[in-house]
Structure 1
Amino acid sequence: MELAIWWTLMLVALTASSCFSGVEVGCYTLNRVRLDLRAGRTSRPDRAARVLKRELEQPDRLLAALLIGNNIVNYVGALAMTTLLESGGRTPGEVAVITTLVLTPVLFVFGEALPKELFRVEADSLTYRFARVLSGMRIVLTLTGVLPLARMMSRAIEVAAGLKAEHISDARQRVAALLKEGAGQGELSEAQVSLVDRALVFGRVRVSDEMVRWAKVRSVPLECSRVQAMRAIGSVSHARIPVVNKAGVVVGVLHQADLHTRPDQSVAQLMTPPVRVKAQTPARDALLAIRRARTGVAIVEDASGRPVGLVTIKDLIEPLTGEIADL
């Protein structure tokens, strides 16, 4: 009778270990859009989806509960097998060898590899079935104090090591996760995923990353004639050129086309007020400023107001679109 109990414990522990491992992967690969739709449904409410969504709102707590549960059942399985071997007259050395050669591969194959692959493929059908079990286990581990203690120790280690807490709820991370999921399921093309990946990174791009250094920028003097201006900018690729006074201060921007279409006006009359941005201005803000002013370019200045570069709309959108050929 006692042996039957230990055999049962070992089989239950192996089954539970496979479930914990599978659910962990299922929670990672679950389609979050479908989960939100199922959890928000008012007609025929999906309680399993609501429970699962609530657990996934605190992923660090969920992961800790799964790992603790998996460790507990693995220990029970090892204890049951050790007891069965000792009851069969095996020596401690033989027990250690058999446990290593038998239990470890069995746990790896049936408790880790197979269930993880199964839940990865069938996450949207299998994970919901374990939602209530997952919630119940988390509640038990919380009431017994095991889960709060483990999380407290984890935070203490993070603080001691100077690590920054990662928040899965961050909007950009959620969008990135959804994109990877869409790409994996063939819903999005590689080009689409690449574009949105660049859009997510675009928020960190600064004007200084994309501008043309002032030393490479061709400018024209405010006092020069039309002929001198046309000669000075004849080989310049930019359509708009900064106009500077005798002190080297940028006082305007000259459009090359205006020199040819408005022959009766001087450089001072043709130039338009410059848009000025700081080198550390986010590229997105600079792009909006240029579009509002309809100038096509902006003069990049340092903190003291000294020009350090020039940036065009083309320069600012290339981090999103990739290299754009000059026309």
Structure 2
Amino acid sequence: MPFSMLFGMLAVMLILSAFFSGSETSLMTLNRYRLKHLVKLKHKGAIKTHVLLQQPDRLLGLILLCNNFVNNFASSIATVIAIKLYADEESSVAIAAALLTIVMLIFSEVTPKTLATIKPELLAFPAAWIYTPLLRVLYPIVWFINLFVNLLLKLVRVDVKKNNTYTINKEELKTIIAETDSLMSQRYQKMLMSILDLETATVEDIMTPRNEIVGIDLEAPLETIIDQIKNSPHTRMPVYKKSIDRVIGFLYLRKVLLLLNMDDFDKHTLISLLVKPSFIPESTPVHAQMVRFKDEKIRVGLVVDEYGDVQGLVTMDDLLQEIVGELITEDVTARKQSDGSYLVDANITIRELNRVTQWALPTEGPKTLNGLIIEFMETIPDAGISIKLHDYPLEIIKCDEHAVKLVKFLPQKQSKVLKKHT
């Protein structure tokens, strides 16, 4: 056989080896979710690729069968060429093997696989058109090979069919969203993150705590009640007798404002305008409460513990703000200073603080920053004390005998000067 034909066959084998190596990498590195999207758009190459990837063991068996065949055939041709060129048969075969290894590594392995990794669709979709009929032709051989492969995998307790799924968990989805800077703004990324967290959030995490509830005490003088209604920044207020645990209803201020100047306005008129209160268990998931508010056409409820005591108040606005956050209200509870520090109202919830600052303070225990600091220190601290709270340095700015009111989180570079409280 002439040298020209031998070198021509060797070149063809190298090209085929590059195709099989590159297509293997491209098919295995395809973005499965983009592939499914293209399938929905009726992309023919994507459809064929998707069908092939439903049984990756067969596809890999076919590719490796073909790739090993052309590699071995190329090695045989190179050996024949070497023997014809050199008299010393042993040294010529060694030289041919070394040269062929370098050539195949560069042109048939590294280059096509690098290209396939960067642009997988460029090679995967055309390759699917070739592999589909080729799999039908070589199916008996591929089936026989996979029979032994699957038996070996079962020996190590790996079920190919059960593991042939492409799913992602919530944390992986968060990572994907975090890497979409070029596709959406940061505020919409935060919205999507908040939606993912709805599954674990409860009304207790976002409620207005009991000590901050502004309500109307029916035992107060009528003049005091009228003055409170006129100057209230709220649109709905709970009405109770002596204690917030004895709420008798909610007052919608827009219904009562027109009646305040009437001569016959009294507490009985006020009571007649009350709406029956809605009580919400503190462990109710946020997403479930949103559905309940929608179905019952109400917008406010009182959060109660297992003993029926009022722990806080939650509104539909609170639930929506859990998703859209800063789009509804401008944040005033955690203000970033020019030096990189944060001045934080200690009544802020841990979830809100984490969302504003992108920190990772624990949310399993206390729900507010005040609660977290008191739990951490096991006492109510004095103003001026500096601590390191779960690796975040802070200084107590303001507090009273009952709670921490205001703290300053220092920039991370200043954390070295603080000693962790124990």
TM-score (norm 1): 0.64
Aligned partners of 1:125 and 1:111: how far apart in 2? 15
Judge conservation of contact 1:26–1:127 (CA < 8 Å) in 2. Answer: no
In the other structure, the counterpart of 2:224 is: 228
Q: 1:115 to 1:243 in 2, by over 3 A?
A: same
Provide closer, same or farther for how the CA distance between residues 34 and 66 of structure 1 changes in structure 2, counting only shifts above 3 A: same
SS at match of 1:38: coil
Q: Percent identity?
A: 17
State the match for 2:166 in structure 1.
168
Q: Which amino acid aligns with 1:109?
A: V
The equivalent position to 1:28 in structure 2, one of 29, 32, 40, is: 32
Matched, 1:313 2:316: yes
Q: What TM-score results when the alignment is normalised by the length of structure 2?
A: 0.52
Specify the alignment match of 1:126 in structure 2.
126
Contact 2:62 2:135 in 1 (8 A): no
Quote the offset at 1:35 in angstroms. Answer: 1.4
- In structure 2, the partner of 1:89 is 91
1:4-43 mapped onto 2 (5 Å cutoff): 11-26=15-30, 28=32, 30-38=34-42
Distance (Å, rounded) in 2 between the aligned partners of 1:108 and 1:166: 26
Larger radius of gyration: 2
Deviates more, 1:132-141 or 1:313-322: 132-141
| Secondary structure in 1 matching 2:275 | coil
Q: 1:255 aligns with which of 252, 255, 275?
A: 252
| Matched residue SS, 1:89 | helix
Mapped contact 1:11–1:77 kept (Cα < 8 A): no
Give the Cα–Cα distance (whole angstroms) in 2 for the partners of residues 138 and 237 of structure 1: 75
Does 2:220 align with 1:216?
A: no
TM alignment of 1:1-327, pairs within 5 A: 11-26=15-30, 28=32, 30-38=34-42, 51-56=48-53, 58=54, 61-62=55-56, 89=91, 104=105, 106=107, 109-120=110-121, 122=122, 126=126, 128-130=128-130, 132=132, 141-143=142-144, 144-146=146-148, 148-149=150-151, 152=154, 156=158, 168=166, 190=185, 194=189, 197-198=192-193, 201=196, 203-204=198-199, 205-231=201-227, 237-246=233-242, 248-263=245-260, 264-266=265-267, 267-323=270-326, 324-325=328-329
Letter in 1 for 2:42: R
In the superposition, relative to structure 1, how do residues 221 and 32 fare at CA in structure 2: closer, same or farther (>3 Å)? same
User: C-alpha displacement at 1:31, in angstroms?
Assistant: 4.6
Query: How many angstroms does 1:114 deviate by?
Result: 1.0
Give the CA deviation at 1:132: 1.2
Aligned-pair CA distance for 1:200: 5.2
Cα distance change on mapping 1:131 and 1:71 into 2, 3 Å: closer
Distance of aligned partners of 1:81 and 1:280 in 2 relative to their CA distance in 1, 3 Å threshold: farther
Tell me how far apart the structure 2 counterparts of residues 281 and 287 of structure 1 sit (CA, whole Å).
10
1:211 aligned partner, one-letter code: M
Q: Measure how far apart 1:18 and its partner are.
A: 0.8
**What is the SS of the residue equivalent to 2:323?**
helix
**How far is the alpha carbon of 1:199 from its aligned partner?**
7.5
Q: Give the Å deviation of 1:252.
A: 1.8
Cα distance in 2, alignment partners of residues 230 and 14 from structure 1: 85
Tell me, in whole angstroms, the C-alpha distance in 1 between the residues paired with 2:318 and 2:231: 19
CA contact (8 A) 2:278 2:302 kept: yes
User: If each structure's strand is expressed as a fraction of its own residues, which one has the higher value?
Assistant: 2
Shift in Å, 1:23: 2.2
How well do the aligned residues superpose, as a CA RMSD in angstroms?
5.0
In structure 2, what is the Cα distance between the partners aligned to 1:134 and 1:223?
87
Q: Which runs of 4+ in 1 moved over 4 A?
A: 3-11, 48-51, 64-88, 94-108, 133-143, 149-157, 164-167, 169-173, 188-193, 230-237
Letter in 2 for 1:250: V
Cα drift, residue 21 of structure 1? 1.0
Which has the larger share of helix? 1
SS in 1 for 2:249: strand
> Residue 244 of structure 1 aligns to a residue in which SS?
strand
